[in-house]
Structure 1
Amino acid sequence: MAQFAALVARARALADGPRRLLGIVGPPGAGKSTLAARIVAELGPQAVLVPMDGFHLAEAELRRLGRHARKGAIDTFDADGYVALLRRLRGPGAETVYAPEFRREIEEPVAGAIPVPASVPLVVTEGNYLLVPEHPWGRVRELLDEAWYLDVDEGLRLRRLTARHIAYGREPAAAAARARGVDQVNAELIAATAPRCDLVVRLDAPLTA
């Protein structure tokens, strides 16, 4: 809890002033969605959560491109659209900016689902590829005021990820194969980007949503 309190204090300091963007990065199953949601809940009206997952390509487009089996890989997201949204969120203006949200129950992104009022001083965004240096992802890091990399025990991460896939309807063997196959390729790419962060977060105990 002391670790988490320190993270909340750091995020609160970012929210003390003009609009800032905080990115939380980590491989699949690291717990970044939970951490980001908890941080935003603690800050209340000072923060809004805008996940990168809202920029998943639609199911039909993934099938058209032949990438559906690799959903979640770096080339299955609209990176340019994500960068454009972050630029809007950083820019001055009195209007509310609307961000998309990924809905697990339909496995599709939904446009305009997350309102970000101009009065909110901190936008927290979380996702896998925020620290990737290659174009066009490299522009994401330039737009973040801080980036935190969430590092967890590899065995725990794989167990979490396998359980998640089972919860989404995969058989246990298929869930384990996905976690150690396609997801592991993504995890290794993400881990290589950790040196580009401002803070490595290693929590002694997992957070709950």
Structure 2
Amino acid sequence: MENRRRRVPALAPEERREALVAATIPLLHEHGVDLSTRQIAQAAGVAEGTIFGVFETKTALVVCAVIKALDPQPTIDALNQVDRGLPLRERLVRATELVHARFAGNAQLMGAARKLIIAGKDGETAARLATNRERLHAALTDVIAADGAQLRRPPAAVASLLLLFCGANTYGPFGDPDGFSGEDTVSLLLDGLLIRRGTP
């Protein structure tokens, strides 16, 4: 059967922008920022020239797609759903797994974002990504806050350490994303590595 490009109905400019962004995100996961407008057009089911009817450049589209894909709101929503009545350790394990899933799922997109910011000296994108990090940090801090009296560091500092470890495990040269364990991570954070007397 002959392969035919999927055509979509005519859309308003803002709807067209959203459709192009949505079509670009899976390509970014697969190819990073080194994708072509032809690939985007085929994925969106439009003529290649349609892209430039709503975006000035391919880079402008890619930046919008990266920002959309890296929106932390789904993870924030999930963190907000963590039962605050659970013990601190259980809450932290669940929160750590959510953060790790976000980082692991977006590893290539984060690389793409860095490439765009460095190559284009894009201060606006850098600022938006920084705001996203602050929102994620605030949501994680809130998961910890009720038990701040149990901790030697403030909840915000504990949240920063957890994010740092998850980030290094995902993006760092010594990380092991496939072997990640939320329980081990939280144990490292809360218990440390020193064997204490009376500890099995």
Normalising by structure 2, what TM-score?
0.27
Q: Comparing both chains, which one has the higher relative contact order based on Cα–Cα distances under 8 Å and sequence gaps of 6 or more?
A: 1
Larger C-alpha radius of gyration, 1 or 2? 2
TM-score, normalised with respect to structure 1: 0.26
